[in-house]
Structure 1
Amino acid sequence: MYKSKINYQSTTFLTSAPDIRALPADEGIEVAFAGRSNAGKSSALNTLTRQNSLARTSKTPGRTQLINTFSLDNARRLIDLPGYGFAKVPLTVKEKWQKSLAEYLMKRSSLKGLVVLMDIRHPLKDLDQDLIHWAVESKLSVLILLTKADKLGPGARKKIVLDVREASLAFMGDIQVQAFSSLSKLGLPELEQTLDQWFGATEPTTDSQL
């Protein structure tokens, strides 16, 4: 349907919404980014789009409390979902985030894939696994993006990627795993390649990044 390669640098902010009812019309294709509040989600989005402040970064995890929508073109969007797990916020706020997250994953028909970001040094925490289970139940493709990969040497990085790939088989879903660094740009071309496929801009490939 779409065959033109995407220029992620042209991404623009569209809207922030407290729940799916306030999001743009449920049409076209969306890809969502989600992860623990200290996983480097905002930094990854900024790196992907070559924009320093498209997604707000903060030394205080949990600043993203809304569903933020970014437009790639008139039919494709990136979604920045609320961070979870680490933020020191009231329980009622955490429960609201969790409800919004589950509702979005299960009811948003334009959602094509989910990028789950995890610190490569602390992968597959309980909430990460819950999120992947939700995505698999909703028949979504999943990319586990192991962030802050520059913190490890090549050998240790490769071992963790392989370990997470093996562990991800238990989810019984369409799941890819790759290392990523916003600092060194490691894994950026592979991230773009996966997103291009989900957005219908390129054909599927079996190449992967350690």
Structure 2
Amino acid sequence: MSSDDWYRNYEWNAEVEAVFYDKLKRARSQRDQYVVIQASYLAESTPKVALSLIDEYFDTRKDQYEDMRAFWVQARSFMSLNQIESAMESFRLVLKREDEFPNHQSTVYVDYPYIVATQAIDLEYKNALYVLEKYASRLMFALDKFKWHASKALINLDAKEASLALQAAEIKSSDFRFHQDVGLVGKEHAEVIKVLIKIST
């Protein structure tokens, strides 16, 4: 086991838990971070454990530095449990925390609307569109632009936005000289692309 594998477990059982907490006892300044990172690795596979770890984080944290990431993990975990309303509230908390601490930013400004749009969570449509417009100036990577335009296309059935999303999906390299595969649209979006093609025509 490498030095950081102990808080990056994709599976959780009594043995893994025992090792994790044994190592965690020795952690000092980074304890909060380790708890949130471990929870992030379990958000899809064992979301109830992830939520328990996030609760532990909020109960024991020394400061608020990891709050944004903790709310993001919380949202993903609730989505895994199909607890949509709770997930949406956690997404809103991520954005609220980002507004309070502008130096701590994530991609939730496009991830949240994209989930709303692709999952057809119509009660969130109005807020999702508001979020897209509010944070539009952050757009940088092709993937972010794809999600931004795709979300608007799916919510409004907008052919122009669908075409712009498809253009972003066609980008094969980023503007970063040494990281040209960063922020590109992957195969996991293939089904959404099929829907966008229908909307665009």
Check whether TM > 0.5. Answer: no
Q: What TM-score does the superposition give when structure 2 sets the normalisation length?
A: 0.32
Richer in helix (by share): 2
For the pair shown, which has the larger CA radius of gyration, 1 or 2? 2
Q: What TM-score does the superposition give when structure 1 sets the normalisation length?
A: 0.31
Richer in strand (by share): 1
